[in-house]
Amino acid sequence: MAIESIRTVDPEIFQLISAEERRQRDSIRLIASENYASKAVLAAVGSVLSNKYAEGYPGRRYYNGQVNTDAIERCAIERAKDLFGAQHANVQAYSGSPANMAVYAALCEPGDPIVGLSLPHGGHLSHGWKVNFSGKLYDAHQYPVSRETELIDLEVVRELCHEVKPKVLSVGTTAYPRAIDFEGFAAVAKEVGAYLVADVAHVSGLIAGGAYPNPVPFADVVTSTTHKTLRGPRGGLILCRQDLAKAIDRAVFPGLQGGPHMNQITALAVALKEASTPEYARYCAQVIANARALAAALEMRGFRLVTGGTDSHIVLVDLTPKGVAGRIAADALERAGIVCNSNTIPYDPRTPFDPSGIRIGTPCVTSRGMKEPEMEQIAVWIADVVENVEDETVIKDVRTEILQMVKAFPAPGLDF
Ligand code: DSN
């Protein structure tokens, strides 16, 4: 075991890695952006490809010794193109925000208008939020979700786009449970001459597995992370039309980055192979079935679901009817062994650091083989804890039951 070699060299870090492995084994992980990468993916991340510099692109590198790195990067590119039906793929972005940064750099000049979904309404920092580079470098405008339906209202997006004439219209979410009308967004972008950029970091795995709409036929550029539902290593991915390929590649390298992390790209190639299997498609369908089962069971216990349900892996829960703040609930749930994050809900009367909701997601529990009956049980535990956040006896009892339950569901990639 590669991990065993750390025990001898650095016992302190070995203990911490082991403790984290136990934490991932012994808890019910419901953070919607996390997953369990397979042993093969983790092995690729820890492989000798970490040792190699490869500035440039396959066949056009600045250092010698690229016989294997070229083959690996070409393989990752072809697998990404095949899986998503894209004309071009760049697999070098270090993660999702750098991928988005490269796309803006390729398509806009600093100061140009851009439009994206507001962060507190389920968007992402890099879609023009004021404290982020995207909100500082560009003239960023944000669209909200509807106050009534909590859904994206394309008419609102259209009006804003006609007003500000953005260079880039982005659509992408981190806390939005519903499917997105990418074709409708493409029509709006076309009306105002904007590039449409779809950031599918959260749902790219579900898209690959055929369980969520694919923006590739409609968007000029699609960006993603590779470690969420896609279940790969941490990393970024950019897909685009062939006519934008050169600009995107140049923006990533040499525009923003130096040497690509070849171990990350190697692991991505492995993950993309895994994501092309029928087994993975079944996994994606189950991720959504599990989210719906969890949502329905929570609703039965009196929780309010933002948008009333889900079409994805995400359930956004408004805790207002329970009279408990999101952070207090998330902390109590963690003590019980259920790990999620507090989250703003649309038009949240509370602060982003102490919001009204929790975001829960089913990628991890589904990777462990859990299905609808387990989701119903998890909903019972969530409700018991949230309704008794100050009762450590209830929390301890739930913790004991969880420790027993997770034994039956080994997590991919873990040694225990
Ligand atoms: N931090 C990620 C998430 O949790 O959704 C987004 O980048």
CATH number of the domain where residue 389 is located: 3.90.1150.10
Tell me, yes or no, whether 136 and 170 share the same domain: yes
Q: Residue 150: CB partners within 8 Å, gap ≥ 6?
A: 306, 307, 345, 346
How many residues are recorded in the chain? Answer: 416
pLDDT tens for the chain, residues 1 to 416: 578 899 999 999 999 999 999 999 999 999 999 999 999 999 999 999 999 999 999 999 999 999 999 999 999 999 999 999 999 999 999 999 999 999 999 999 999 999 999 999 999 999 999 999 999 999 999 999 999 999 999 999 999 999 999 999 999 999 999 999 999 999 999 999 999 999 999 999 999 999 999 999 999 999 999 999 999 999 999 999 999 999 999 999 999 999 999 999 999 999 999 999 999 999 999 999 999 999 999 999 999 999 999 999 999 999 999 999 999 999 999 999 999 999 999 999 999 999 999 999 999 999 999 999 999 999 999 999 999 999 999 999 999 999 999 999 999 999 75
Ligand 1 pocket residue status of 174, Cβ below 6 Å:
yes
Tell me, yes or no, whether 107 and 140 share the same domain: yes
Question: What CATH number does the domain containing 189 carry?
Answer: 3.40.640.10
Q: Determine the residue of 97, 119, 121, 124 to mutate for testing ligand 1's pocket, defined as the one with the most ligand atoms within 8 A of the Cβ atom.
A: 124
* Residue 64 CA, ligand 1 centroid: distance in Å: 36
Does 413 fall in a domain?
no
Nearest protein Cα to ligand 1, atom 4:
33
Domain region containing 382: 281-406
Does 218 fall in a domain?
yes
One-letter amino acid at 187 equals: A
Boundary-marking domain end, from 274, 293, 311:
274
Number of domains in the chain: 2
Tell me, yes or no, whether 76 and 197 share the same domain: yes
Instruction: Supply the residues annotated as catalytic.
Output: 53, 55, 199, 225, 228, 234
- The atom number, within ligand 1, closest to the CA of 225 reads 7
Q: Is the dihedral of CA 100, 230, 80, 52 positive or negative?
A: positive
Tell me, yes or no, whether 254 and 323 share the same domain: no
CA distance 365 to 293: 13
Residue 389 near residue 376 (C-beta atoms within 8 A): no
Residue 404: Cβ-neighbour burial (10 angstroms; 0-12, 13-18, 19+): exposed
* Residue 1 CA, ligand 1 centroid: distance in Å: 31
Ligand 1 pocket residue status of 346, Cβ below 6 Å:
no
Q: How many CB atoms lie within 10 A of CB 301?
A: 14
Chain centroid, CA 294 distance in Å: 19
* Residue 34 CA, ligand 1 centroid: distance in Å: 9
Tell me, yes or no, whether 160 and 178 share the same domain: yes
Ligand 1 pocket residue status of 96, Cβ below 6 Å:
yes
Residue 115 near residue 128 (C-beta atoms within 8 A): yes
Ligand 1 pocket residue status of 33, Cβ below 6 Å:
yes
- The atom number, within ligand 1, closest to the CA of 341 reads 4
Q: Residue 60: CB partners within 8 Å, gap ≥ 6?
A: none
Boundary-marking domain end, from 274, 303, 336:
274
* Residue 87 CA, ligand 1 centroid: distance in Å: 27
Boundary-marking domain end, from 274, 303, 323:
274
Does 149 fall in a domain?
yes
